[in-house]
Chains A and B, each alone.
With several copies, the nearest count.
Chain A
Amino acid sequence: MIVVAIIVEGALTPESQARALAASGLDPRSTRSDGAVGATLRFEGIVRRDEPHPEQRGEPRALLGLEYQTYDPMAQRGLESLARAVAERHGLASIVVWHSRGRVGVGEVSFVLEISAAHRAETLAATASFIDAMKRDVPIWKSPVWA
């Protein structure tokens, strides 16, 4: 079982994800070769152009981006222990999570979750439960940067 959780400065790009994953020394694709993996799921969270504005009765207001603040090292540890718990509960072959810290512009990626398992049901259930728990328990805050 491969578990990786990485916090990356700024928006997530294919390059920044690959670099951070390489630095971890772990490769989730290695779980593919033995034929036990039947499903992989990759989820990307992207910054949308508007957010409900708290001072305008929740009406959407235009954004430049979001500013992600992490409480370190608790955020990093929290992502990793959550990933491990979800992997064990759903019997995953691998789980890799990347999360941004700092400014991420509209249309850019701030969160990526990549899961592999024997069957699709586990990948879908694990994705939903990981994201729900992350938003509840991992000390990462987003603040709007209004346009």
Chain B
Amino acid sequence: MTVDVLIFGPAAAAANTDRAPVSVREPATVRDVLTAIAAQHPGLAFALDGARLAVNQSLASPDTPVQPGDELALISLLGGG
């Protein structure tokens, strides 16, 4: 399946877009999606160190399953305040 991952801040600026489509084999987990981002979007490599994925607006662990239609967001390089 292909899922869109929302990206923000410096990662979005570097990729010049606010969503990165990635292909993963079903059944997929959060870990699979992060690995696929690294392979399919080399320009986002700088943002993946320590990055996590939010699934449906909650931080998810690496083993969390990802379903088609889930809202996925790359939570990387935060720095509010």
Contacts and interface: CB of A to CB of B under 8 A. Distances in A.
Interface of A: 45, 54, 68-69, 71, 73-75, 77, 99, 110-111, 131, 134-143
A110 B80 CA distance: 9
B81 A139 contact: no
Given A77-B57, A139-B54, A143-B13, A71 B79 contact: no
Most buried by B among A134, A137, A139: A139
Size category of the B interface is 10 to 19
A131 B57 contact: no
A134 B57 contact: no
Contacts of B12: 69
A99 B9 contact: no
Contacts, number: 58
A74 B78 contact: no
Given A71-B6, A74-B57, A141-B10, A45 B81 contact: yes
Contact of A135 (B8, B10, B80): B80
Contacts of A139: 8, 54, 73, 75, 78
B81 A111 contact: yes
Given A74-B54, A140-B81, A141-B80, 11 more contacts: A54-B10, A69-B9, A71-B8, A74-B57, A135-B79, A135-B80, A135-B81, A138-B78, A138-B80, A139-B54, A139-B73
